[in-house]
């Protein structure tokens, strides 16, 4: 009986971990779509900022340690409220979409 219970708990834990991985991947994919539509014009499709607008505005490479060391809350605040010449996206994006963008920015950081 106890072995059966341990096996059930173990199976449940593996399922939860798998589902969390799927949710994270889906969030990253949604974030990429939003990024492409709203952010890539300045930040570039790869997040490097190497577009004519990005170079002119001196946007930071989203792969950089300076960006990646910011907390999720800090990144959400920048996206929501804007910063410098970056426009605010509060009211243009839902909270969930902003979280998806943060997830995608984290993915960019792991690519370099």
Q: What is the pLDDT of residues 63-92, one digit of tens each?
A: 999 999 999 999 999 999 999 999 999 999
Q: For the chain, which residues make up each domain, given as ranges?
A: 2-111
Quote the tokens at residue 43: 């930040």
**Is this model's pTM higher than 0.75 or not?**
no
Reply yes or no on whether the pLDDT at 19 is more than 60: no
Q: What is the number of residues in the chain?
A: 112
Cα–Cα distance for residue pair 53/112, rounded to 1 Å: 22
CATH, domain 2-111, list 1.10.1200.10, 1.10.760.10, 1.10.3210.10, 3.40.50.1370: 1.10.760.10
């Amino acid at each position: 009986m106890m072995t059966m219970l341990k096996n059930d708990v173990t199976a449940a834990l593996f399922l939860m971990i798998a589902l969390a991985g799927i949710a994270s991947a889906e969030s990253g994919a949604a974030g990429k779509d939003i990024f492409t539509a709203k952010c890539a014009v300045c930040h570039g499709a790869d997040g490097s900022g190497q577009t004519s607008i990005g170079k002119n505005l001196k946007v930071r490479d989203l792969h950089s340690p300076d960006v990646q060391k910011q907390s999720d809350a800090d990144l959400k605040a920048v996206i929501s409220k804007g910063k410098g010449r970056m426009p605010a996206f509060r009211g243009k994006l839902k909270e969930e979409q902003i979280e998806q963008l943060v997830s995608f920015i984290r993915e960019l950081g792991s690519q370099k």
